[in-house]
Structure 1
C-alpha cells in the first residue's frame, strides 16, 4: 500500500504512516495535501487563540484548531454554557427591583421642557446595576499528546477547507508524515477527530477551565466529564469515545485514554447542558442521556460515513453560492496573503465565503440560540462584552447575509430566540412602561434579560425588538412563505407594534408622534425623536401594515395607518447638508463616531434610496463622508453596506479594503478589537449589496460594482420575491443574468444590459431606455437574459 492509498483510505487526523518519505515528498505535497480552492492555510502551528485559531462548528458545538505538533489543544465550546440567569444570585431579568411609578414619564417631561437631557441623568432615573447577567463560557479543551517533537517537525501545513468544513494539520517527523483531520457534524451532532493510517500512538484527555469543578472518568475508551457551573448550577456533560481498529487502548486513572500502535482511531465528542430557552427558569433535562445517545450512535458509524454525511450536509448550504472575481488566490499562507493584500485581490472573494462559512458553523436549524458576538467560539470565563447578544446592531448584523447569501436555514435559531424573548419582554413592557406588547433593550442574554443596566451611553434602546422584527419580515420578503408570515412573524410584529402604539409620545413642539426618551447609539444626549429611533419604528409600522393588509387584519392595519400619518419620519436634512442624527440640528461635522445609526433608513431599512429620495440619499452621503472611513471592524462593515446602497461601488470597496487591512486578524476573523464576529457577517452582506439589491422591490443587478472587479461571475445569490440570481460580467457591465423564480408573478430587473437590444430565453427584445425589464415569471421558471 503506497502513501497515497493510506491517506485516502483514512481521511486521517493523527496519521503516522510507516512508509518512508523521500526528500521530494517532504517538500512537494500530494494532491490530497493541497488546500482546496477556498481554504485558509498556514505553514506553522497557531500559538494564540484570537488571531490564529481555525474555527469549525455545527451550530451548537464549536472547536478551535491551533494544530500543535507534540501537544494539540482543541478548545471546545457548547453554545448554551452560560453563567448568570436563574439560579445565579440576584438575577432580575434587568427589570427594576422596586417599582418606579412615573419614571419614564418624568424623563419625557424633562425632555419636553429642556429638549436635551444628559445620559447620566437619564441613567440615574431609569437604569440600575446589572445583577447576574452572566457570560458565555468555554466548555473545555481536548488535548492530544503524541511523541512527536515540534523541533524536528517539517513540511508543516494547517488548513481549513471552507467548502468541506474540514480542518487538517500535516507535518513530517523522521521521514513519517502525520495528518490530523477535524470536523463538527451537524447531522451527527458530534466533533470528530480522525487518527489512522499507520502505527498511531497518543493520549487523549479532556480538561475544564481552571477553578471549575467536574468529575472525569474513563472506561472502555469513553471519557466522561460532568459538572455544574458554580454560578448558576447549570449542568453540563461531555463524552468522547475513542474507537480503535487494532492496537492497544488503555483507560487511565486520571480520566485520560492512551492508544498505542493502532492503525486507525476515531474520536467522537458530544456535549450538552440542561439549558432550555423557556421563561422563567430556563432549565430542561439533565444532559446525560442525550449526550450518551448521541456519542454512542456516532461511534457506531465508520469514519468515511461520518465524513461523507458531514460534507454533504455542509455542501448543501455552502455550495449554493459561487463567486469568481477574476483573480486566483496566491499560493502563499493566508496570513502572508493578508499582509500582502492589495485592493481587488482574490482574498476579497475568500473573505466573502468565509462569512458564509462562519454563519453556517455558528447557526443552524435545530440548534438553540443564535450566533453571538463571537459566533460560537470563546476561550474565556468572562468574554468581551460577555459574548452576548447586543441588539442595537450586533446580533442583527450577524444575520444580514442569511437572505442574500442564500443561507435561510441559519435563521431558525434567531427566529426561536426572538419568540422566546416575548414572555420576559411583556413583563418589562408592563413594569417599566405600563404598556402592552413586549420590549427588549440594548443587550440580552440566553436568560430573557429584557430590562436595563446602568451604563449611561449603552443601556436604553427599546427599539431593539422592532429591529429584530425587521429580520422576520425580511425573511418573508425573501421567501414569500405566507405560512411563516402568518404563524411566526406577524404575531411577533403585532405585539411589538402594540407596544409602540401605546408608547409613542406626542412632541409638544409639532404634535408629531416620537420615541421619547430616545438615544442615538452611543453618544450625544437623550432627546425626543432621534433619527434612528424614528426610522426603526417607521420601518416596523410600515412592515406591519403591509403584513396586516396581506393577512386581512383590518383593525390593526387601520390603527397603524393612522399612527404612520402622525409619526415623525426621522429623516431631516440639516444645516450643512447632512442627514440629521437627531430631530434637532445638532450634528457636528467633525464628529467621527463609529456609530452612524441615523442611516438605518438607508441600510438595512428601505426609506432612503438614490432613486426614490435623492435629497435624503445625498444627505446620507454627506453624513458618511463627515464620519470618515475609520471605526471598528463592524463599523467599517456597515459602511460597506451604506456605500453600496448609495450606489458608490468604489467607496464600498474602499471600506472593504480598510476592513481587510486594519480590522482583520490573521485567521480572517474581524476585530473590534478584540475579536467580534459581526464584522465578518457585515462584510459578506456588503459584498452581496455591491452585486445585487432587491430592497426596493426590483432586482438591481450590479448596482455598486467597483472598478476593482471589472470582470467576474456569481451564482446562487437571492433576491426578495423568492428569486435566485446568477450574473456574469466583463468590462464592468453585466453580460448574462439568470433568474430562477420560486413563486409566480411579475419580476422587474434593472441592469445596464437593457440599454441595448438583449435576449430573454433566446427571444430578442429591443433596448429599454429606463434600464429595466419586467416579465411575468412562473414558479420554477428559469430566465436567461443576455446581451
Structure 2
C-alpha cells in the first residue's frame, strides 16, 4: 500500500474540484478523476493545447540599458525600475502569456437507488490506475481508469455486480462551474463545441481554439460482459445511454490542432483496431510504466498499518505535529509518479500546474524558470529517470533563436537571454514586469540541468552537441552584459534576486514588494561562475580551443567573492545600499550551496556556515512568508547542510500547511494558519510535490564527480530503511540499506559505462578510496 493513495472522500474543493482529483497521464495526455458517484467528471487534457498566447514582434529597447544603469548608480531606484518595462509598453508591445486549455470532460452518470456506502477512491502509482468504488442497494459499482503510455489513449472500465448496468456517458466542454481562478476566466472560452453520439457506441467531440484550429476526442463504448442479453445503446443529443450486462469498456483518443471531421475519422479507425480487453491494455501499459517507476524503491520504515490509512487520516495525523513516515514515503512516491506521468521523451516539459490544469485561465500555469521549473526536475537525475529531463532540453533548444533576439533587443548583448516566464510556442519575452525583465539568470540555471545530465549519464555526444553550445551562449551574454567596477570585478546592473526586495524597501509582506531592481544580486554571480566553471570542465573533456578556455578562466577571476553580513549570513546583494531581507520565500543567494555544488563543508567551512545562517534566518524570521515550494527548497538546503532532523521538520511544516487531500501541493496555505504567506487564493503547484521527492533523495545520497557521501542527512526518525537504484554523478547506481540500532550501513555501487576512481564517505567514518570496474557491483559497509 505504500505506492497507493487511498481517499474516502470525493474531490470537493468549491468551484475547483479538479484540484482534488486523482491524476493519470502518459506525459502527453492526461486525465483527472473526480470520484463522484452519480455524475462523474474526468477532466481530459493535452499538453499541446494552449490558448490565449499572443506573440508579437519584440521591439528593440537596448538603448535604454545605459539609462537604467545610470539611474541605479545615482540611487534613483524607483525611476530605474520602470524604464525598460515602460519602453516596451510605450512601443505598443502587449504579448500574452496564455495558459493550458482543458480539452474536455468525460461525463458518466450512474443511477442512484438508496444512496452510496463503502465509498473509496484510490490511485495505484505502480500502474497509474485510478479506481472509484462504492455500494448502493446491495450492488457493488466500480470504475477503473488509466492513461496508456503504449496506446496513447484513456482507458476506462465501468463495472457493476448487478446482472444489468445502466449508465449515461458523453464528452462535454469542461464545465464553467469548476473554475475559481481570480484571473479573467472567460476571456478565451473555446467556441463551436460539437458533441455527437450514435447507437453503435461512438461519441465524437470537438471545439475550436482561438488560433482557429480544432481540438477534441473520440470515445468508443464497448460492452464486455453479456451473460444475459446484448448491450443496448441509445443516442440522445450527444449523450449515449448504455444498457449493458455488468461491465463496459470505454476507450478515448484525443486530438489537437486539427480539423474535426478528419481527426474524428482517423481516431475512429485507430480505436476500431484497438484491443478491447481492459486487462490486456493495462498490462501493456503497466510494463512500460513500471520500468520507470520501479527503477528506484524506498523504505524508510513506515508501518504497514499506517500505509493502510487514507490520505485524509494521514494528513490529520500530520496536523498534530509530525508527518508519519508512511506519509513521507507516499509523498516521495507521488512526486516520482507525477514526473513520470507528465514528462517523457518527445513531450513538452512539465509546467507549474502539471498537465492536469482545470482552469480556463490557469493561475501561474506557465514554465517559470526562476525556481519552479528547475525544482520540478531536481529529482529526475538522482532518481534514475534521466530520460524525463529530455523535454527540457528540447523545449529550450528549439527557442534559441528567440532567446538570442531577447538578448540583442533588450540588452544589446550576444548570446541568449531566457525569460523566466515562457509558454509554447515562442521564447520571446512575454512577461514585462520589471523584476522579470531584470532577472538575467534563467539560462544559467537551466544550463545547470544540461551539464548535470552529462555528469549523471556520461553522454559525451550530449555534452558536445547540446550542453556546451547552450552554456557558450549563456557565457557570451554575461561577457557582454557584465561591466567592470573600480576594483576590476564584474558588476551586474540591473540585477534582481528573484522576486525579493532589499530590506530598506520591504513593506512588511512576503508577497508584496516595493522595488526589486538592484545591483549585484549574489545569485547573478553564483550562476555565472557555475556556467563558466562547467564550460572549462566540459571544454577540457571535448578539446575546446585553448583561447576559449583561457577566456572563461579569466572571466571566473573577475567574479567578486561572496560577502557575509553582520549576522554572519551570506548577503543576498553584493552592494552596500541593499541590506538583506529575511522575510521572503525565495532562497536565491543560497545557490552556491544548493542547488549548486560550489560550496560544501569541505570546500570552505566559513562560507558553509554563512550559508547555514542565511537559511536559518529565512525560516526563523520569515516563516510567515514561506510557501509550499519554498519549504521543499529549504528541505533540500538542509540536506546539503547535513541537518537531517531540520530537513524533516521542513517537510512536517509543508505537510501541515500546503498539502491537499489528494496530496497535491499548493503555493500557500489559504486558511490563515501562520505557516507561509497569506493569500486569498491558493494556487495548486506541482513543484513542491517534486521538490519533496528530490529532498529525500538528497538526504540519502550526496554526490560529486569522483566523490559520494552515503546518508549525509539521515534524520533520527529514519533509523532503519533502504533505498535501491539511486543514480550518482559519474553514472554510478547506488543502493543503500541501514539499521542504525544495529550499527549497519551498507552501500552497493555499480559503475555504468566506465571504470572510475571514487572517494566514498559513510557517516562518522573516514573516507575510503575505491576503484570501480564498469558493470561490476561492489558492496561496502561502514
* Fold shared, TM-score > 0.5 on shorter chain: yes
**Does 1:136 pair with 2:100?**
yes
C-alpha offsets along residues 356-403 of structure 1, whole Å, 9 cap, x if unaligned? 001011111232x11011111111101112x00111111111100001
Q: How does 1:270-281 map to 2 (within 5 A)?
A: 270-274=253-257
1:686 is matched with which residue: 695, 698, 706? 695
SS of 2:488's equivalent in the other structure is coil
Q: 2: distance between equivalents of 1:729 and 1:587? A: 47
Q: Which secondary structure state, in structure 2, belongs to the residue aligned with residue 232 of structure 1?
A: coil
Distance 2:269 2:763 in 1: 57
Query: Partner of 1:402: helix, strand, or coil?
Result: helix
Tell me by how many angstroms 1:253 deviates: 4.2
**Alignment of 1:396 onto 2:364:** no
User: In the alignment, does 2:525 pair up with 1:534?
Assistant: yes
Aligned to 1:148: 112
**TM-score, normalization: structure 2?**
0.87
Match of 1:333 in 2: 310
1:745 maps onto 2:724 in alignment: no
Asked if 1:266 corresponds to 2:249, the answer is yes
User: Would the aligned equivalents of 1:529 and 1:568 in 2 still touch at CA under 8 Å?
Assistant: no
Displacement of 1:332 in angstroms is 2.4
* CA deviation map 1:43-62 (0-9, x unaligned): 23222325521111111111
**Residues 301 and 655 of structure 1: is their aligned pair in 2 closer, same or farther, counting only changes over 3 Å?**
same
What does residue 107 of structure 1 align with? 68
Cα distance change on mapping 1:492 and 1:752 into 2, 3 Å: closer
Q: State the superposition RMSD in angstroms.
A: 2.4
The match for 1:563 is 555
Q: Are the counterparts in 1 of residues 109 and 169 from structure 2 also a CA contact under 8 Å?
A: yes
**Displacement of 1:604:** 0.8
Deviates more, 1:714-723 or 1:691-700: 691-700
What's the CA shift for 1:121? 3.2
After the TM superposition, which of the residue ranges 538-547 and 218-227 deviates more from structure 2?
218-227
Task: Tell me how far 1:463 sits from its aligned partner.
Answer: 1.4
**Aligned mates of 2:719, 2:79 — CA distance in 1:** 50
Whether contact under 8 Å (2:705, 2:730) holds in the other structure is: no
1:206 match: 171
Matched, 1:633 2:613: no
* Kept in 2: contact 1:401–1:684 (CA 8 A): yes
Find out whether 1:511 has 2:488 as its counterpart: yes
Q: CA deviation at 1:238?
A: 1.2
Match of 2:671 in 1: none
Give the equivalent residue in structure 1 for 2:206: 226
Counterpart of 1:714 (choices 694, 719, 723) is 723
Q: What is aligned with 1:306? A: 281
1:195 aligns with 2:158: yes
Contact conserved, 2:314 with 2:323, CA < 8 A, in 1? no
Whether the 8 Å contact between 2:700 and 2:714 is mirrored in structure 1 is yes
CA distance in structure 2 between the aligned counterparts of 1:174 and 1:188, rounded to whole angstroms: 37
Deviates further, 124-133 or 517-526: 124-133
How many residue pairs get aligned? The number is 716
Q: CA separation in 1, counterparts of 2:653 and 2:371?
A: 20
CA gap of 1:456–1:544, structure 2 versus 1, over 3 A, is: same
CA, structure 1 residues 378+652, in 2 after alignment: closer, same or farther (shift >3 Å)?
same
Unpaired segments of 5 or more residues in structure 2? Answer: 177-188, 502-515, 668-681
Give 5+ residue unaligned stretches, structure 1. 1-35, 276-282, 756-770
What is the rounded CA distance, in whole Å, between the counterparts of 1:80 and 1:747 in structure 2?
45
1:72 alignment partner, one of 16, 40, 43: 40
Map of 1:444-459 to 2, 5 A cutoff?
A: 444-459=422-437
Q: Deviations over 1:222-258 (max 9, x none)?
A: 21212321x3324312111112244334252422222
In 2 relative to 1, CA 295–438 (structure 1 residues): closer, same or farther, beyond 3 Å?
Answer: farther
CA drift at 1:169: 1.1
Shift in alpha-carbon separation, 1:481–1:675, aligned structure 2, 3 A? same
Q: Distance in 2 between matches of 1:41 and 1:479?
A: 36
CA distances 1:68-91 after superposition (whole Å, capped 9, x unpaired): 112111111111111133xx5xx3
**CA–CA distance in 2 between the matches of 1:557 and 1:497?**
12
Distance 1:223 1:405 in 2: 40
The whole-number CA distance in structure 2 between the counterparts of 1:646 and 1:190 is 44
SS in 2 for 1:413: helix
**Superposed displacement of residue 546, structure 1:** 1.3
Scaled by the length of structure 1, the TM-score of the pair is 0.87
How far off its partner does 1:185 sit? 0.9
